Amino acid sequence: MARKYVYFFGEGKAEGRGDMKELLGGKGANLAEMTSIGLPVPPGFTLSTEVCTEFYKNNRQYPDGLTEEVEKNLARVEELMGKKFGDPENPLLVSVRSGARVSMPGMMDTVLNLGLNDETVKGVIKQSGDERFAYDSYRRFIQMYSNVVLGMNGEILEDLLEEMKEERDVELDTQLSSADMKALVQQFKDKVKETLGRDFPTDPREQLWGAIGAVFGSWMNPRAITYRRLNNIPAEWGTAVTVQSMVFGNMGDDCATGVAFTRNPSTGEKIFFGEFLVNAQGEDVVAGIRTPQPINKGKGDSDLPSMEEVLPECYAQLMKIQQILETHYRDMQDIEFTIEKHKLYMLQTRSGKRTARAAVQIAVDMVKEGLIGEKEAVLRVEPRQLDQLLHPSLDPKASKEVIAKGLPASPGAVNGEVVFTADEAEDAARIGLKVILVRIETSPEDIHGMHAAQGILTARGGMTSHAAVVARGMGKCCVAGCGDIKVDYSKQQFATKSGAIIRKGDVITLDGSTGEVMQGAVPTVSPELTGDFAMLMEWVDKFRKLKVRTNADTPNDAAVARKFGAEGIGLCRTEHMFFDAERIMAVREMILSEDVEGRKKALTKILPMQKSDFKGLFREMKGLPVTIRLLDPPLHEFLPQKEAEIEEIAKVMGVDASVLRHKVDYLHEFNPMLGHRGCRLGITYPEIYDMQVQAIMEAACELIQEEGYRIVPEIMIPLVGHVKELEIMRANAVRIADGVIERLGAKVEYLIGTMIELPRAALTADEVASQADFFSFGTNDLTQTTFGLSRDDAGKFLPQYVEQNILPNDPFVTLDQRGVGQLVEMGCEKGRKARPGIKLGICGEHGGDPESVIFCHKIGLDYVSCSPFRVPIARLAAAHAALMDEA
């Protein structure tokens, strides 16, 4: 039996179904489905994706019998429509559309009005009684066809159209007369011949096969190939082609066209919602030439008459249909319709795009309505979207004056008075002022100011600059790399591109979700973590398998993260505790000491501070696991740079300033990222880690004795490249920890593990595991070393890389699975093999990126850890991952 290649749909009967997307593409499957459930769909047929596959298998030859099948189906359409393809009296016009399983840029998309020529156009005039409409359709057809099917540069015909408008001294196409359009048709045909050396095809069947061939041909054009490669879409999927009879919403006042959503896509409210235009074509709604009218009476801000009023019968029919569709598809639908002489036709239905707020509301409502189950509800909300919900946002009703635009580095909306130094920010915060810290770029020395400020605005740096990364970690609003502003520290002001000057003390508003900077205080609305959101997250936690921890350095961070559902701390960066203004002096004293004794003296001052830090964290986490990373960054990050600072510290230490200056110079590094940091410090200055371990263990012991929590500190040694480093550091830590336990007589267990953040650690994870109770993949640094890419310096070329599709994503945002992920997987496998049951987690920024979280689930990590404000996103992504396993 011959294979079936063409699938008919029309008049309540369809050979395809909605679940046949693989064979018929998204468009074809949905049209078939709508037809089957009795909705009014203009008849047509779909050439399946198998035709595409055969086409390429047989050296671009169509399979045998295809022509006959197409003819047979065309005849059925003609019969249903009472028109004939190519008939000069009453011609059938069709649209030809591509339809892959997923929509794909680069593919030929649509040809409308196919079947027109100098003869059939007369039939259209006769049927519509509208010559201008007929010739406008004809010239549009020639334009579209010659461009997408014949491959002619679209501008050539566009230029003729423009010339005509100039000649007639009009601005809009609609102002051209019927005769103008007719003339254009001739000009277009002449130009096509001149350009391509052959006549524009007049035979409708030639036109049809030309369009079909163009769709299949575009499957293998370079843009489509690239897109597939980047998105891992196999070439074997192929595309389908749908041929459908045209219907027209622009044949008079009893015609219309419109788009609608079955629920409000921005609030989620259960109200049918849409716009339409009388006597118009689909493109006109989009083009914005006329103001569309509302569908419902009395809803929205429009004063224009509604469809409910203008076309009440069609409105009643559409209301019924939209309910059928939503119930049928069990999701909010985005629909397109056309009314031709009082007859309603459905042209498209698909799941509608929606805001995060709407997504949550709709998902929860639909569970309540019994339309979907909890699992489906969870899958209906995109993890990435949630970010919008977790920060204050600008009141959508407020007016705003945007003065500059930078990168949306860390979401949220805040306002405050402008300050230009971290110290000012801190001083202002101390007396209760709300400030925005504005810097050319930030450095670790600005941390206290960033903490104190409402938000951060930088003129330089990308999405992964210091300001951006730290701000995201703090959940603090940040607009980074705002090249529109010119900061002048000396004058304490910045200028915008438009020449406005903002001075210290002026109030501005930042929107970290859009990158906009506004003058004055724009009102904001708070995030809503209760109600529907809380209910959805309850379901989320039921389904996910991956634990979600947070990266938190302070009790405050920890408290926020707990509120967002964190199940422990996956990364506490102890160095952040060192930058505190009161402590930095002792830290500097420690670094600049000439010998162990000097360092120990300074460390003695730091010990009680660190201990109280850890107590705070443990107390906040109430027995949940807390992973504490020992000192990681290069020492020179803590160094005084200014002469006055050097002199001050020299006085405290009782040494000569020149000696200190020499030491500061000595500590300078060419590539600090690859320098004397992490456990390398622990090896050369063991007393630093000794102090930290002592502080951790004393804090844990005392809290256990005082408050009775079960605390199991997880001590993490950073930057291990060779097992031997960990072996030595572990032995030291065990010695100190056991000493504290014995001295304080407390019963405390503890774990000692390492970050896997260097390729060598992943490559030799079997060896490293012999000394580690747990691995935490530090994918920030692992990405830097695997790519040989400094996050601080990448701003000069990484944006171009992402723009040009050299890299599909910023690898510091979404884990590079093929490269970095390969190392992570290798690390897991080797680690588990050498030490079954080893605890595995990830604590890079990727722990809060949905795609990366799904990868972490796939390779079987125990937990991810991310900044507090991304915890709900990670929880939702983890649930998605688990539910995808079930599917």
Binding-site residues for Mg(2+), in ranges, read: 757, 781
Strands 110-114 and 94-99, how do they pair? antiparallel
Question: For residue 254, which of 317, 311, 313 has the smallest C-alpha distance?
Answer: 311
Q: Candidates 820, 842, 874, 879: give the one binding its own copies (CB under 8 A).
A: 820
Q: Does 323 bind its own copies (CB under 8 A)?
A: no
Judged by CB under 8 A, the chain residues 98 through 157 that form the site for its own copies are: none
| Beta carbons within 8 Å of 714's beta carbon, 6+ residues apart | 625, 626, 627, 628, 750, 751, 752, 753, 773, 774
- CB half-sphere exposure, 606, CA atoms < 13 A: 32
Q: Contact region for its own copies (CB under 8 A) — 210-218, 486-494, 746-754, 802-810? A: 802-810
Nearest approach, Cβ of residue 379 and its own copies (Å): 32
Q: Contact region for its own copies (CB under 8 A) — 108-116, 399-407, 698-706, 812-820? A: 812-820
| Beta carbons within 8 Å of 350's beta carbon, 6+ residues apart | 26, 30, 333, 334
Q: What is the DSSP letter of 463?
A: T
Q: Which is nearer to its own copies, 370 or 788 (CB)?
A: 788
C-alpha 147: how far from its chain's center? Answer: 33
Q: Contact region for its own copies (CB under 8 A) — 144-152, 287-295, 422-430, 722-730? A: 722-730
H helix intervals, 288-311? 307-310
Instruction: For residue 14, list its beta bridge partners.
Output: 9
Q: What is the DSSP letter of 484?
A: T
Q: Which is nearer to its own copies, 244 or 786 (CB)?
A: 786
> 3-class SS at 517?
strand
Q: Candidates 284, 819, 859, 862: give the one binding its own copies (CB under 8 A).
A: 819
Question: For residue 26, which of 170, 237, 229 has the smallest C-alpha distance?
Answer: 237
Judged by CB under 8 A, the chain residues 656 through 695 that form the site for its own copies are: 669-676, 680, 683-684
Task: Note if 466 is an active site residue.
Answer: yes
Residue where the block lists tokens 């461009």: 147
Q: Does 789 bind its own copies (CB under 8 A)?
A: yes
Nearest approach, Cβ of residue 632 and its own copies (Å): 12
**DSSP element (H, E) containing 832:** helix 820-834
Q: Contact region for its own copies (CB under 8 A) — 164-172, 208-216, 250-258, 795-803? A: 795-803
Nearest approach, Cβ of residue 678 and its own copies (Å): 8
Nearest approach, Cβ of residue 117 and its own copies (Å): 43
Q: Does 385 bind its own copies (CB under 8 A)?
A: no
What tokens does 73 get? 């189906």
Nearest approach, Cβ of residue 723 and its own copies (Å): 9
CB 210 within 8 A of CB 149: yes
Q: Candidates 56, 237, 709, 801: give the one binding its own copies (CB under 8 A).
A: 801
Q: Does 796 bind its own copies (CB under 8 A)?
A: yes
Q: Does 786 bind its own copies (CB under 8 A)?
A: yes
Rg (CA), the chain: 33
Nearest approach, Cβ of residue 465 and its own copies (Å): 11
For the chain, what's the residue count? Answer: 887
Of the residues 255, 843, 856, 866, only one is catalytic, namely 843
Q: Candidates 571, 733, 823, 882: give the one binding its own copies (CB under 8 A).
A: 823
Q: Does 722 bind its own copies (CB under 8 A)?
A: yes
**How far, CA to CA in Å, does 189 sit from each of 141, 184, 798?**
11, 8, 46
Q: Got the DSSP string for 567-612?
A: -SEEEEEGGGGG-SHHHHHHHHHHHH-SSHHHHHHHHHHHHHHHHH
Q: Does 718 bind its own copies (CB under 8 A)?
A: no
Q: Candidates 763, 834, 859, 883: give the one binding its own copies (CB under 8 A).
A: 763
Judged by CB under 8 A, the chain residues 725 through 754 that form the site for its own copies are: 725, 728
Residue 167: burial class (beta carbons within 10 Å; 0-12, 13-18, 19+) = exposed
Nearest approach, Cβ of residue 737 and its own copies (Å): 22
Q: Distance (Å, rounded) from C-alpha 493 to C-alpha 477?
A: 21
Burial string for 551-567 (b: 16+ CB within 10 Å, else e) reads bbbbbebbebbbebbbb
Nearest approach, Cβ of residue 776 and its own copies (Å): 16
Q: Which is nearer to its own copies, 548 or 789 (CB)?
A: 789
Q: Does 208 bind its own copies (CB under 8 A)?
A: no
Annotated binding-site residues read: 573, 629, 757, 778-781
CB 250 within 8 A of CB 51: no
Nearest approach, Cβ of residue 251 and its own copies (Å): 50
Q: Does 616 bind its own copies (CB under 8 A)?
A: no
C-alpha 712: how far from its chain's center? Answer: 36
Q: What is the DSSP letter of 31?
A: H
The crossing angle, in degrees rounded to 10, of helices 555-563 and 596-621 is 30
Q: Candidates 78, 781, 810, 845: give the one binding its own copies (CB under 8 A).
A: 781
Q: Distance (Å, rounded) from C-alpha 791 to C-alpha 567?
A: 29
Q: Distance (Å, rounded) from C-alpha 481 to C-alpha 427?
A: 25
Nearest approach, Cβ of residue 77 and its own copies (Å): 45
Number of residues that bind its own copies (CB under 8 A): 49
Q: Does 404 bind its own copies (CB under 8 A)?
A: no
Q: Which is nearer to its own copies, 548 or 679 (CB)?
A: 679
Q: Which is nearer to its own copies, 23 or 729 (CB)?
A: 729
Task: Note if 448 is an active site residue.
Answer: no
Q: Which is nearer to its own copies, 705 or 822 (CB)?
A: 822
Nearest approach, Cβ of residue 792 and its own copies (Å): 4
Q: Candidates 258, 721, 831, 847: give the one binding its own copies (CB under 8 A).
A: 721
Q: Got the DSSP string for 152-187?
A: --HHHHHHHHHHHHHHHT-SSGGGS-HHHHHHHHHH
Q: Contact region for its own copies (CB under 8 A) — 240-248, 277-285, 341-349, 719-727? A: 719-727
Q: Distance (Å, rounded) from C-alpha 878 to C-alpha 252?
A: 53
Q: Does 759 bind its own copies (CB under 8 A)?
A: yes
Of the residues 466, 576, 857, 880, only one is catalytic, namely 466
Question: For residue 339, which of 449, 258, 225 has the smallest C-alpha distance?
Answer: 258
Q: Contact region for its own copies (CB under 8 A) — 289-297, 559-567, 608-616, 763-771? A: 763-771
Annotated binding-site residues for substrate read: 573, 629, 757, 778-781
CB 245 within 8 A of CB 43: yes
Chain contacts with its own copies (rule: CB under 8 A): 669-676, 680, 683-684, 719, 721-722, 724-725, 728, 757-760, 763-764, 767, 781, 784-790, 792-794, 796-797, 800-801, 804-807, 816, 818-820, 822-823
Catalytic annotation, residues: 466, 843
